[in-house]
Structures are given as structure tokens and as C-alpha cells.
Chains A and B, each alone.
Chain A
Amino acid sequence: MKTDVAINGGTSSTSNYLTWSPSPGEIWLSNAAGATAPVKVILRNQRTNVGGQVVFTTNSAVAGTDELRLDLPPDGTRVPFYVAGKYPLASKADKDAAVEVIESATGTQLSLTQLMVRIRKDANLLTPSERDLFISAFATLNNRGTGRFSIFRDMHRGISYYEAHGFPGFLAWHRAYLLDLERELQDIEASVALPYWRFDVPAPKIFHKDFLGESDTFGTVAFSANNPIQYWRTDTSDGITRDPLFDPLTDPAFVLSESGTLAYGAMYADFEKMEGDPHGNAHTSFTGWLDDPATSPKDPVFFLLHCNVDRLWAKWQLANARFDVTNIATYPHQGKAGTPSQTTRIGHNRLDTMWPWNGVKGTTGGISDRPPDAPGGGLAPSVIVAAPAASPTVGEMIDWQGKLTTATRMGFDYDDVRF
């Protein structure tokens, strides 16, 4: 007797990546071995003391449990369920978690499905293996300046400033930007999730030669001889220029604390001040590429910095229940550019699609105009989720966990932001 399990709509291992949000699954008897009555099975973690852990439920609105008992029809009819990572027990390696299906009557294992609870983590706490997989994937994406990273570099230049900064859609735009990059990294190494730099506490392991480098007196970043990031190239520049104004071994950056950031207020219109502090202050805790919007994404630390900015937004959303995109407390600019409902710059109203993923081009990139080019095409798709659309709107970037409807989940989560 044998069962098969499909997670996220697929049966291959490429679909078997989970976050804290419930993922749809199906189970069926692929070999009923002559059974004529429904077969009672138990779904559970194969090992509870190692690897990522998962929980199960039949209703995505109900919290999962460590075991799920189901009756499987002998004719092979598929039975739906949901599976999610068990907060906070994320995987530490690819496919270190496994769902075991046991026949209740006999205790026989009917199938074993390897999967990963893939979560964005504090970069300072990554294992050496997690760190090395991440930097290897990132170096491959850059490929000495010839890889697809150049598209991400081109998305964030001076001429595209107003698409992403100074207006309320700042957080939504960067959430899409990070997700797009993360999915490209996952095409290279599926186990990678973008880590975050928690900038309000010391993070010495990040600014180390084995990770994202150690700055010398002049701000040139040095890497260990085995680190592939030493071959980083952007535009016509080799290497990275980054000079911390703080001591990265012992001090945080010069930013507002996490608790101070979350205390900006329960309305988005108050919270968006975080664009200045801590976001802007995190950037300008350095001189070099990070401290200018036009050059900042040339430094890989940019993406870890913004991952923390996004994590802070996610924490604020959870703390204030800000997932309903139609609620002005969640996002105040509910209209669409070019209509009477427009209340802010094009690209920043809830119903506006965002450059560059919408492919719309302008002339000058000025405050009321689009940039002359739209690099990269649509936002990278995912094997495990359907959201957001290839040309996402601002509003589509709000409910990343699919709290209100599972269809909007985007396939990422943070190690300290539960579902």
C-alpha cells in the first residue's frame, strides 16, 4: 500500500517549500493494495528533534497541529489538507524536514515526503552552510558583472528614484524588488531565502571576510580568499566600497530601534516615516555606495538592509492587523493614477501597477514621469505560489502571508514574524 502527496499543487521536489502560511496539499492512495474501505492514515513529522517542523490542518483558518488523521478513499480520490512550517522551527538545510504518512491500523509507513521550511532569517545567525549557499548563489547571480543581477542594479538608479522613494509605495515597491531577486536566487539554489541585516543590534558576522566583507580604512571591502563575492562587479566597478561610521563588530548602526520603529503609530501614514529612520539612517550609517540611492544596490548589503526594512513592515502589519488592503489604516491611497481617485504619485496608489514590472516607460524619470526604460520584465514567478502577479499592484504586495485569502500568499516569511 502506498500514498502520494502533492504540496503546493506539484508532486516534484521543487514544490516542497513551505513558510509559516498554510500551503495546500493533497494526499491519495496511489496503491490501495486491495483495500475496499477508506484507509485511515496519520500525517506527521518524521523526526521531531532535527530539521524544520511542520503542522497540519484541514482548514487554513484554523491553527495546525503536529498530527493530522485522514480517511483516504480506496479509489485514489485526492483528499485535501494544509501544511505549514511550525513556527519558529525553520529548516537549516534543504529538505531537512519530512512528512511521514502512517497507516493507523498497522503503523506502516506509506510514504515519506522531503520538504523544507524555507524562511528569511537573521543573517548574523545563519549557519556557515546557509551563509555559504547564499553568497554562492548571489555571486552566481552577479557572475562577475555579466549575470542577471545587473537587471536589479538597473531597477534602482537615480532616474528611477520616484518609482520607489519619497512616496507611500516605498515599502510595497521594495517588497516586490526583494521578492523578485529572491526568486532568481532560488532558481540558482532552491534552499536560499534572503536573510536580513538586523541593523539595530550588532551584527559582526555579516561584516566579516567570510560573509559580506570587512572594510579597510578607505572603505574598500576585503573578503577571504575563498569567498566568491570577492569577484563582485557592478557597472564598471570591481569590488565594493563601504565605510561604516560605526564599529560593526560591537555596535549597531545609527538607527531607531525596532521597538521605536513599531511605535511610529498604527496608521500607515505614520509608519511610513520609517523610510527616513531607520531605513535612511541605516543606509547613511556608512559612506560609500550604500549611502546614495543611485549607488546603494551595488552593495549586496543593500538587500539585507531592505530585507530588515520589509521585516519591520511585516511586524508592524502583524502587530496592528494590517492585512486588509481596502482599509486606509493599512494603506491610505486607495485609488488609481489617472482617475479622480488618485491621491498620490503614479505607481503609489493602491490600484497602480509598479514600474518596472509593468513595462511602462516614460522619458525623464521625473516626479510625474516614468523612467525611459523598464528593465527586467515581469516579476519572477514561483513554483509554490501564484501571487503576486507578474505586474503587481501596490495593493497586491500587502497580504504577503495570505491571511485574508490564501491566494495572496507570496512564499516568504520571517523567522520572528508568525502567521
Chain B
Amino acid sequence: MSNDDRRNFEKAVRAAVPKYSETPTKGGLESLVTFGAEAVAVETSPLAVARNRNAPPAERAAALHALAPRQRNDEEFVQLLLKLAGDSSEPPELRSGVLRILRQLRFSSVLLNQKRAQLIETLRPIIDDPDPTLRQDALEMLAQEKDEYVQRRLLESLTGQAPLPAALEKTVQLLGYDIHAEHFPVLRDIAKNAPTATARREAVRLLASDPQSIQLLREIFHDKNEDQEVRRASANGYLSLDPAGFEQEAKKIVLDPAEDGDVRAASLSALTHFAHPSTRDEELNGYVEALGKRDLPKPLEDAVRTYNRRQSS
């Protein structure tokens, strides 16, 4: 499923939910029901619709959505959700919709929270499903559960021992749900060598808790040939790991008119909100005040205005 397909499916589900919200959960007379352009003789209770493989997936998902608030602690309902999610013969859009309902029940169902082991067991096979949306949903849910199996699969794929279960950028991001020191060498390699700026950025985000990466983050922050998004991500980590060092480097960047406008603005924003007062010295104050009188690109103009306003208040 593409993102657009998924959005359109969710819209169709939401539009159909009211049809099932007031009907009895179970039982119901057989009648003619119109699904889109097709009239089908079915039992019309939401549970029956949800179980009916001939009903359109959006109708089935809508029936389940309508049931969820009132059936959230019902054993039969929760087991049906787990069964549908794990059944590879069911349509992928229905299964994706069911995973969303399971995520919703994580917020409101005591019963589901007591069945976390069964949920994990249901999700694990889905990370190898042919459908990429289902794979990614299951991967993320397992990563959120800090499932040791999925952590191992993610790391193996990032070290080339197995195929990536999702895009490189997403695989790196998912590792962040349960980051460990053993991940940092792999992440440093990706931060330096990954083919896309986004992948490098995701790795840099996760290095913000690695003291051994201070020098790498400093180098990326200063690298005018690096993508500005990666440089800004490194600024965040560098600031966390070495605030005093960052402040001095950020000040140099602000004072350098040859620097990237967004990186200058982001550096100035950090100095405005988080820097030690001694960093906001006469040299910086005077320079930024003078900048405020010039035409600047908008992000830098905004950052200069904010800094000057703070200094004067």
C-alpha cells in the first residue's frame, strides 16, 4: 500500500464507522446491505461484517472500529483482532486497519495490555510479510515494545548480515526505540558513509547519547559540504554532549557570513535559548544587532530578531 492508498483507505473506514456504531454487536437479521454499488445479503451485526471475507475490507475495518470503544475488554473481540492481524490470507489493507485498532486499544484496553506476549507473537511473523506497509507497522510496534528479536533483526540488517526490513532511513530510526552502546559503532559508520542525507541524519540523531561521537558530531556540524539537515541534527547532539564546546563553535558559525543561512539561524537559535550568558558577549551581541539592520533570508532574519529582542528585554 502506498501512503495515499493508506490515507484513502482510512478515510473510507472513517466514513463507514457510523453505520456500525449503534447496531448490536452480535446477531442481527439477514438483510440486504449495500456495500458501495453492490447489494449483498449478509448478517449485519458488526462482528459478522468483520468476519465476512466477502465484505469490502474498509467495511470490515469500520465495523471493528465501531466495536472497539465498547468491546475493548472483550476476550472474543481482542482474539478476533489478533487473528485477523496475523492471517496472511486476509487483505493487507484490512490487516493494516486491524493493527491500527490494536494500537488504539493499547491506550484503552486493560485486556490487551495483559496480552502483550500474544501481541508480540502475532507481530513477529508480520515483519517478513510481502506488504511493505504491514512490515513497517509491525516493525515499529515491536520496536516500541523493545522486542529483543526485532532489535536483533534491525541490527543484523544494518551490519549487512541480512536484508533491510524497511528503508535504510526507517531501519535506523526504529533502532532508536531501544538504543544501546553496542549500536553506536554501526551508527557512526552510517553517519559518515550512508548514501543519503536522510540516512546520515537518522544515524546522527541517535548518536546524541554517545560520548565517543562528540568529535564526529563536531566535524559534521562544521562540514560546509554536508547537507544542512544533517548539520542541524549534529548540532542537536553536539549541544547535548558538549554544551560549552558547541556554544563556541555555534558562535563562530553565526559570525561567518559564508556559512549556510539555515545553519547560522539554527546556531543562533540555540545560543538565544540555551547558551550560558557568558557566550552572549559583546562581540556576538554587536554583530547580531548589526545583522538586524540588513536584508537577510527569512530563517536568519527571524533568528536575529528573536535574539535581539531577548537581549533588549
Q: Which residues of A are interface residues toward B (Cβ below 8 A)?
A: 132, 136, 139-140, 143-145, 161-162, 165-167, 170, 216-220, 222, 224-228, 230-231, 233, 236-239, 241, 245-247, 251, 254, 256, 260, 273-277, 279-281, 283-284, 287-288, 291-295, 367
Contact = CB atoms under 8 A, between A and B. Distances in A.
B265 A247 contact: no
Given A225-B299, A276-B105, A230 B269 contact: yes
B170 interface: yes
A87 B205 CA distance: 45
Given A246-B10, A280-B108, A295-B144, 4 more contacts: A220-B201, A226-B299, A227-B269, A273-B69
Given A233-B236, A238-B233, A245-B6, A284 B100 contact: yes
Interface stretch (B26-34, B45-53, B153-161, B171-179): B171-179
B7 A246 contact: yes
Which label, helix, strand, loop or mixed, suits the secondary structure of the B interface? helix
Contacts of A230: 232, 236, 266, 269
A226 B104 contact: no
B265 A236 contact: no
A289 B209 CA distance: 18
Nearest to B176: A237
B167 interface: yes
A280 B105 contact: yes
B237 interface: yes
A138 B202 CA distance: 24
Interface string B101-119: 0011111111001100000
B289 to A, nearest CB: 17
B104 A220 contact: no
A273 B269 contact: no
B87 interface: no
Interface stretch (B78-86, B121-129, B218-226, B300-308): B300-308
Contacts of B270: 228, 231
B303 A225 contact: yes
Contact of A165 (B13, B107, B262, B306): B107
A247 B243 CA distance: 37
B205 A226 contact: no
B225 to A, nearest CB: 19
A132 B109 CA distance: 37
B170 A218 contact: yes
B236 A231 contact: yes
B208 interface: yes
Interface in B154-192: 167, 169-170, 173, 176-177, 179
B153 to A, nearest CB: 18
A297 to B, nearest CB: 12
A281 B201 contact: no
A228 B104 contact: no
Of the candidates A217, A219, A224, A246, the one having the most CB atoms from chain B within 10 angstroms of its own CB is A224
B104 A284 contact: yes
B168 to A, nearest CB: 10
Contacts of A292: 103, 106, 141, 144
Contact of B202 (A136, A220, A288): A220
